[in-house]
Structure 1
C-alpha cells in the first residue's frame, strides 16, 4: 500500500480522508515531518489552508485535538496572489490560506468554525501559534527579538529559505525588466562648492600609523565650537573616505550596460550605492546648510538651508548622541540609492547596504582620528526628515546612517 501511495504522490496531489488506513497515514506523517510533503486541509472539497514546508518539522504531527492558542507575535500574514501566506521566522513551514474563513479564524472572528480546532492544532504544531502569549515575553531569547529584526535576520541570510540560491544573492533579477540605476545620481542644481583635495603622496609618508589610529580611536561627544572643523579638513576627510576615483563601464552581450565606480572603501559588486550629505552648522569656510557631496567632482552642492524645518529635524536627534545636548558641527548623513543594489541582488540587498554603512563609518572614524578630528556614529536618523529635506522618494533614496564629525573640545 505504501509503495502505491508513493507512486501516486509522485504523479501529483493525492486526496486522503480521515478514515485512511494506518499504513497510509503513517507514511504521510513521516513524509510531512521530514519536510518532503505539502499538506492541504479541505472541507467539502474546498481547500482551506496548506502547510508548505521548507525544512523538516520540529516534531511529528500530533493527533488532532481541541487545539487552542494565540497567534505568535512573530507570525505575519501577507498576500500572495489570490492567497494569504502566514510566515514565521521560527517555524519550519508557511501556512498558505486559501479560504477567507481561515484568515478570520486566525484573527479570532471565526472561532466556532468546524475546522477551527484542527487549524489551531496545526498552528501550534508549526510554531505559528503558542499555547500562552506570555511564553514569548517571559523567555529572554524570544523577548529580546523584535519581530521585524528577527524577520530581517532570517530573510537576509542563507538558511532554510535560501539554500537553493534560486532567488537569493546577486541574481541580476531585474536585467531585461528594468534599466540599471546609473552610478552618478541626479545632482542638485545649486552651484558647486569646491573642496580642497589632500596630497596623498605626502600623507603616505607622514600619516599616523594604522595601529596607532586603531588604538587611539574613541567616540567624541564634546566639540569645540570656538575652533570648528575647516573646509580643508572636511575636504580631506571626504576625499580620503568617500570620493569616486573612477567609474568603469561593463558591457556584456545580452546584458544591460553596468556602471561600476571605485571608492576608497569596499562595496559588494563594486556597486557603491551610498551617498554622503553633510549637514553643516559650524564649519570654517563653508556656509551653514545641508549639502550633497558630489563624489566625482569632490564638491558640495547645497540641498537645503540650515534653518529649513526638515534640516532642523535631521539635526535634533544628534543632541541625544552628543554630551550636554550639543548640536554637531558637521553631521554626515549617509543615504542609500537602494535601486543601485536592489537591481542586482534579491532578498538581502538592504542587509548588504547596512554592512556598507558600517564599512564607511569605520573609515570615517579612523581617518578622522588620524587627522586629529573627533567623530561619533549615530545609531538612528530621521528618515522622514531626510526625504522632506532632499525631495527624494524614500523608496529610491533613504537615510541609512549618520556620523558626526568636528573639532574635539580640549580636555582639562
Structure 2
C-alpha cells in the first residue's frame, strides 16, 4: 500500500511533512491511442499495464513529470484508489519515494530504486526502539548532492536537505528517536519521518532491546554477512548486474579516450635486454602432456632450489604474455588497435602490463624491469635496492615463504585502455584477467620445471614508486613469484607440498607488521 499523510504529522503543531512519488528519470510513459494499455520503458525493460483506468493513467503521467503529492492524484473512490496503489506496488522498481515538507520548496530526501526487485514500505518506529545506521552504508557526493548507498539496499538515498544528512551523521551510534531529535535540534515528528525513509530504504536498522547501549542489531551477528567487509560487498554488488543501476558497457562518446590508450604501452627509457625466443615446434615436442602439467600445477613456496636463467625467463614470457599480432578494428574516430596474446582478454583489449623484479637470475643484473610484449625485451627502469627489497619482502610474506623469491612478476592495469568501453565492470573484469594471466604463467612455468606461486596481495604504494607509474592511471593488480622447482616436487613425483614454515621469524614479523600497521 502507498499511505498518505501520517496522522502524527497532522496533529502536531509542526509544519506538515508529506509523501511524494515520481517515476525514475529514465522511465518513458506511452499511452496507446485507444487507451487500451500503457507502456512503460524502464531501465529494467518494458512494462505494460492493460486496461488502465483514468486515475491510473493520470497518476503515471503526472509522476513521469516529477514528484507529486499522492493525495492530489489518488481518487476518492476507495476501489479506484486501491487500483492505483496496486499499480504503484507492481512498479516499485521504478517509483521514487520522496519526503516533502511544507516549509521547503523541494523534497527533504528521495529514495531512488536501483534494482528491479526494490520494495519500499515505511515502518512504524516506536520512540523507545534503538536505531542505528547500517555499517555497510556509505555517504558520498554525486552531482552536487549527498548520496547514501549500501550494498544491502535496493534504493539509493539522495539527501536533498542538510537536515537529512544531519540526521544520518547522528545515527553513527545507536540511539532512540527522542534523543536523536534533541541532538539534531529538530521536532520528533520530522525526525521520525526521515528515519522511517532511511529504514525503508535499507540504510538504518531497528534494534532489539530498550537501551541503545545494549541493543542487538540483525547485521551484527548475521552469519551470512560475517565474511564480508563493507568495501568488498560493495565492490561485489556493483560489479555484477542486478543490485544497482550504474551504466555498464560503453561510456558516452565524449568520455571515450580509447585513442589515447595504446594497445601496447610505450617502452620506457633505460637499458634494453632482448629476451630468448624459443621455437614453438620444439616446445610442443618437448613439453610434458597437458594433463600431467595440470595435475602437477600448484603454488610452490620453496625457492631454495636455485635461480632461473634469463633464457628461462624469456621463454616463460614469450609463451605466456607476448604480442602475437596486432589488428585495427572499428571505424573512423572509434577505430583502435587490438592485440592477440597467449592468454584471453575481453574484446582483445589487453590492459595488463608486466614488471619483472629480479633478485637473482642468471644473465640479468638485480633490478626492476618493464616487459615489452611486442618487442619481447626487458627494459631496466629502476636499480633502487630499497624499493627492490620492499617488493621482494612483500612477495615473501604473501607467498608464505622462508626466503625472497628469485624473480617477482607484477601485473599492472592501464585503466584507460579498458574502462572506456566497459564502465561499471571494468575493474572487476581486470581482476578476472589477472587470474587468467596468473594461471597461464603458472601452467607454462610448471611445464618448464620452474616454481610459480601466484600471490594474494601486493603493495600498490611500493609498486607505484618502484615502477615509476602514475597511480591511478596505471595500478598494480596482481603478482606471481618465480623460482626453480625443487627436485622432490618434479612433475614425475607430484608429491604434495608441506605447509610452509618461517625460519627467519624476526624478518617475517617485521615485514608483516609493516604491511598490517
Match of residue 48 from structure 2: none
Q: Are 1:80 and 2:121 an aligned pair?
A: no
CA distance in 1, matches of 2:304, 2:384: 20
CA distance in 1, matches of 2:118, 2:256: 37
Between the two proteins, the alignment pairs up a number of residues equal to 405
Match of residue 31 from structure 1: 88
| Secondary structure of the corresponding residue to residue 101 of structure 1 | helix
Q: Are 1:14 and 2:72 an aligned pair?
A: no
Bigger Rg over Cα = 2
| Secondary structure of the corresponding residue to residue 404 of structure 1 | strand
CA distance in 2, matches of 1:256, 1:29: 47
| Secondary structure of the corresponding residue to residue 328 of structure 2 | strand
CA distance in 2, matches of 1:120, 1:3: 34
Match of residue 183 from structure 1: 263
CA distance in 2, matches of 1:65, 1:28: 26
| Displacement of 1:126 | 2.1
Q: Mind listing any 5+ residue stretches in structure 2 that lack a counterpart?
A: 1-52, 171-179, 208-215, 490-517
Equivalent pair of 1:35/1:57 in contact (CA under 8 Å): yes
CA distance in 2, matches of 1:29, 1:385: 57
Q: Which one of 261, 278, 285 corresponds to residue 198 of structure 1? A: 278
| Secondary structure of the corresponding residue to residue 285 of structure 1 | coil
Higher alpha-carbon deviation: 8-17 or 185-194: 8-17
Q: CA RMSD of the aligned region, Å?
A: 2.6
CA distance in 2, matches of 1:331, 1:73: 38
Pair 1:356–1:323, CA change in 2 (3 A): closer
Match of residue 293 from structure 1: 371
Q: Which one of 458, 462, 470 corresponds to residue 393 of structure 1? A: 470
Pair 1:16–1:175, CA change in 2 (3 A): closer
CA distance in 1, matches of 2:403, 2:94: 59
CA distance in 2, matches of 1:279, 1:25: 71
| Secondary structure of the corresponding residue to residue 85 of structure 1 | strand
Match of residue 317 from structure 2: 238
Higher alpha-carbon deviation: 364-373 or 117-126: 117-126
Q: Are 1:124 and 2:199 an aligned pair?
A: yes
Q: Which one of 90, 93, 100 corresponds to residue 155 of structure 2? A: 93
**What pairs up with 1:253-264 in 2 under 5 angstroms?**
253=332, 255-264=333-342
| Secondary structure of the corresponding residue to residue 284 of structure 2 | helix
Match of residue 143 from structure 1: 226
CA distance in 2, matches of 1:211, 1:119: 62
Equivalent pair of 1:386/1:399 in contact (CA under 8 Å): yes
Match of residue 439 from structure 2: 362
With structure 2 as the length reference, what TM-score do the two structures score? 0.73
| Secondary structure of the corresponding residue to residue 147 of structure 2 | strand
Pair 1:143–1:22, CA change in 2 (3 A): farther
Pair 1:249–1:175, CA change in 2 (3 A): farther
Match of residue 4 from structure 1: 55
Match of residue 241 from structure 2: 158
With structure 1 as the length reference, what TM-score do the two structures score? 0.90
Q: Which string of whole-angstrom CA distances, capped at 9 and with x for unpartnered residues, describes residues 58-96 of structure 1?
A: 464335764751111111111122221111121121111
Q: Mind listing any 5+ residue stretches in structure 1 that lack a counterpart?
A: none
| Secondary structure of the corresponding residue to residue 144 of structure 1 | coil
